[in-house]
Amino acid sequence: MSSSIPRSAGRTVARSAAVSAVVASALAAGLLAGSSSAAAEDAAGVRVHDIQGTTRVSPLVGKQVTGVTGIVTGVRTYGSRGFWIQDPEADANPATSEGLFVFTSSVPTVAVGDAVSLSGTVTEYVPGGLNSGNQSLTQLSKPVVTVLSQGNAVPAPVTISAWSVPDAYAPEGDPAAGGSVNGLTLDPETYALDYYESLEGTNVRIGSSRVVGATDPYAELWVTVKPWENANRRGGTVYGSYESQNTGRLQIQSLTPLAQQPFPKANVGDRLTGTTEGPLDFNQFGGYTLTARTLGTVVDRGLERETTDRQHRNELAVATYNVENLDPSDPQEKFDALAKAVVDNLASPDILALEEIQDNTGAKNDGTVAADQTVKKFTDAIVAAGGPAYAWRSVDPENNKDGGEPGGNIRQVFLFNPERVSFTDRAGGDATTATAVTGRKGDAALTVSPGRIDPANSAWESSRKPLAGEFVFRGRTVFVIANHFGSKGGDESLVSHHQPPNRSSEAKRLLQAQAVNAFVKDIVALEKQADVLVVGDINDFEFSGTTQALTDGGALYPAVKSLPRGERYSYVYQGNSQVLDQILTSPGVHHFEYDSVHINAEFADQDSDHDPQVLRFRP
């Protein structure tokens, strides 16, 4: 994807045909209001609020309309080309929006301030397609545009503020409609999603607001208009449960092409000051988005990267870090930055479990599965940064069997400092051989080390298999299980028309968690006080069913819960600071210090999109 245009605006010029197909399919499936005969009808002299209606789907969907008038409030000349109009004479119903997007496919010939009269077809465009679960955007397609006058004042913006956005997120979906809220009458005074939907296409503004999602490569950032809403000390907004969606979050983009005006770079905690004003859009990659005609100024609040404490001589430091598809073709600068973080920010942990180490040829799909060159380039960079000469252990996957980027063959890798800890090698580990627990009462061991846990289990199909290793620190055995559970791909977003959203990916992670939980129980059954750490990119929250399955029967404790609620996060997604990476401890790990080391997720400049986690304890 080109970095010159926002990803969220990257709808193609072929969208008009796609819209028609989506609407036809949706009408047939009963997902959108209207009937198949509606397209044959005409409606003359309707107003914008008549098109928008009081639900998420236009009552005129599929109809030809004529004589629709309004003032142009914004023009988009790239990506999804078109413009917004607004009727300056609003009706008295707060549920009906006065704004509307007009999809032109080619560069629009109108300008902000033009008064226009339109004819065209009312359509509902579902960003991402019907299977995405996204809400639809009401729009006018295949328009015929007549400019009536120019230089008119833009209708005054509606101010979105802490006082206007309701605290409740969304109504429960209609069970008779499969959990969809599409057919429910909007209640903008009660629900945040209804409030935003009632302003779809409308000229809106926000005042000075805190940045809660850093500027990304697609020239977009996130703010909150509710400064107190689940705020943390570093400026983010914490997602602490399925019921705390953080209603004040809003995505910001610019209508000005990047070639004409660079998008500001912001970190979490910075301020977007002044006035940001423009039409309220809905897109695939974030939902409700203020497409700024006038963009405020970013004020740097000086967010700094964290550094964890160095472990004491008698403490074992174990860390986990998702290094985001690292392979030898990545620039040396990425290896050096990651290495510097290991040495300086993570204080050179004794054991470091890495996720997303790619094979020696990266995403080139040539059958290569070995990753020794990737690991060597990384460990050499750590030494150059002043860190220890880490040794390493891993198990190569079968080609293209573990998901991730095709050809990349991502896997988990253990790095360990041989001056502080030793690795217990037991031969026989490969992609398809399972390690098991053996030994006698009070003395558990692995049959294969390093080895994979239950790789034939269908729970790991097209997913990374857990890597188990047996370490010794000061004469004490420590079991570490490195994980990279299945991704959240396929889940519906928080702004889905299904409420609550469908989180289909959880089913696989639940099975994966159960497999790891059973393995840990096998260890603890033989050695009650065994030191077991389950680490890695769990791809799920500390309050999720996945984490509950991992901890079932008291086998494990999610160490992130030892932190204050405002510090529980390792990833920032759509302005929500949330937990994806975890370290869980067995009952034998009695006392520990845990740190989520915030060096990436809150920053526009990232070496990875994840923050590493560190746990220190005395075995």
Report pLDDT digits (tens) over 466-488. 999 999 999 999 999 999 999 99
Enumerate the β-bridge partners of residue 594.
Answer: 615
Look at residue 34 in the predicted model and tell me its pLDDT: 39
Confidence of residue 158 (pLDDT cuts 50, 70, 90): very high
Could you tell me the pLDDT band of residue 31, with boundaries at 50, 70 and 90?
very low
Supply the pLDDT for residue 187.
98
93 pLDDT exceeds 70? yes
pLDDT per residue over 503-556, tens digit each? 999 999 999 999 999 999 999 999 999 999 999 999 999 999 999 999 999 999
320, 376, 530, 614 from 351: Cα distances, Å: 8, 16, 17, 10
Minimum mean pLDDT range among 5-14, 38-47, 143-152, 333-342: 5-14
Q: Taking the C-alpha atoms of 196, 198, 200 and 206 in order, what is their torsion angle to the nearest 10 degrees?
A: -50
Q: What is the distance between the alpha carbons of residues 527 and 524, in angstroms, rounded to a whole number?
A: 5
Mean pLDDT calculated for residue range 66-84 = 96
Q: What is the DSSP string of 261-320?
A: SPPPP--TT-EEES-EEEEEEEETTTEEEEEESB--EEE--------PPPPPTT-EEEEE
Residues in the chain: 619
Least confident among 17-21, 53-57, 314-318, 410-414: 17-21
- The number of helices, as runs of H, and strands, as runs of E, in the chain is 7, 33
Structure confidence by residue, pLDDT tens digits, 210-261: 999 999 999 999 999 999 999 999 999 999 999 999 999 999 999 999 889 9
Q: Compute the Cα dihedral for 286, 290, 294, 295 and give only its sign.
A: negative
Determine which of 21-30, 114-123, 551-560, 604-613 has the lowest per-residue pLDDT on average.
21-30
Q: Is the pTM of this model over 0.85?
A: yes
Tokens representing residue 569 in the block: 């996060």
Residue 98 has pLDDT above 80, yes or no: yes
Q: How confident is the model at residue 41 (pLDDT cuts 50, 70, 90)?
A: low
| pLDDT score for 45 | 81
Evaluate whether 260 touches 267 at the Cβ level (below 8 Å).
Answer: no
Question: Tokens representing 44?
Answer: 């003359």
Mean pLDDT throughout 197-216?
98
Q: Give the span between the Cα atoms of 228 and 224, in whole angstroms.
A: 9
Percent of the chain at pLDDT exceeding 90: 91
Whole-number pLDDT of residue 212? 98
pLDDT of 6 > 90? The answer is: no
Indicate if the pLDDT at residue 136 is higher than 50. Answer: yes
User: What integer pLDDT is reported at residue 44 of this predicted model?
Assistant: 75
Check residue 2 and give its pLDDT: 33
d(CA 572, CA 236): 9
Is 372 in a helix, a strand, or coil? helix
Residues forming a β-bridge with 402: none
What pLDDT band is residue 434 in, cutting at 50, 70 and 90? very high
Residue 259: what pLDDT?
Answer: 82
Paired sense of beta strands 42-44 and 64-76, if any: parallel
pLDDT bin (cut points 50, 70, 90) of residue 36 is: very low
Compute the mean pLDDT over every residue in the chain, rounded to the nearest whole number: 93
Tell me the pLDDT tens digit for each residue of 495-514: 999 999 999 999 999 999 99
Residue 43 is predicted with a pLDDT of 76
- pLDDT of the residue at 468: 98
